[in-house]
């Protein structure tokens, strides 16, 4: 009778062993598949098609627009409609993404500053007290800088003129 119990227990032990081996293989296979998925299949690089469609972002470069003698600001006098005299001080920078344009702005800085002095001194005091007036003055300054640089170099890749400080009194 004891022999019969031993013979019946042996097949149950083999079944347990087979089940454990199958479960271990499933766990190892699932872990390997997950590792492959996380390491190789989902890399951070976009597909080649997405890379071709998305233009490369070039770092912005800024040039301080300075008066001769490295004076950091433009100071102009303005007159309002009542005939009262006011002063405006502007610190300005040009934004571009081309190093050649930075070099051109540096080389032709006296011409750029001369033109900007005319633009700033022709501003209407009442208009530039509003945000829209300041934006219009920035646009006029950008147009003036682009005009000077395009005449001197044949191209103008200046994106914006930024007023980093503006004081009116």
Q: Is 45 helix (H, G, I), strand (E, B) or coil?
A: coil
The ranges assigned to domains in the chain are 2-53, 61-168
Q: How many CB atoms lie within 10 A of CB 59?
A: 5
**Partners of residue 75 on adjacent β-strands:** 89
Gap between the Cα atoms of 45 and 82, Å rounded: 63
Q: Domain 61-168 belongs to what topology?
A: Tetrahydropterin Synthase; Chain A (3.30.479)
pLDDT tens digit at each of 169 positions of the chain: 555 555 555 556 788 888 888 888 777 777 777 777 767 665 555 555 555 565 677 899 999 998 777 777 889 999 888 889 999 999 999 999 999 999 999 999 999 999 999 999 999 899 999 999 999 999 999 999 999 999 998 888 899 999 999 998 8
State both tokens at 78: 């303005």
* Distance in Å from the first CA to the final CA of the chain: 113
pTM: 0.64
């Amino acid at each position: 009778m004891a022999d019969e119990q031993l013979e019946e227990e042996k097949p149950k032990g083999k079944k347990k062993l087979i089940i454990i081996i199958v479960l271990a293989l499933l766990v190892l296979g699932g872990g390997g598949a997950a590792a492959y998925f996380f390491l190789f299949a989902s890399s951070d690089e976009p597909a080649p098609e997405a890379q071709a469609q998305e233009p490369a972002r070039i770092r912005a470069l800024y040039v301080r627009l300075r008066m001769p003698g490295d004076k950091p600001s433009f100071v102009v006098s303005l007159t309002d409609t009542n005939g009262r005299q006011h002063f405006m001080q502007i610190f300005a920078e040009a934004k571009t993404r081309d190093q050649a344009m930075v070099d051109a702005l540096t080389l032709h800085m006296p011409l750029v500053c001369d033109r900007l002095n005319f633009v700033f001194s022709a501003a209407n005091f009442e208009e530039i007290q509003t945000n829209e007036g300041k934006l219009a003055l920035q646009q006029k300054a950008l147009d003036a800088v682009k005009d000077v640089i395009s005449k001197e170099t044949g191209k103008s890749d200046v994106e914006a003129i930024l007023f980093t400080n503006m004081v009116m009194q």
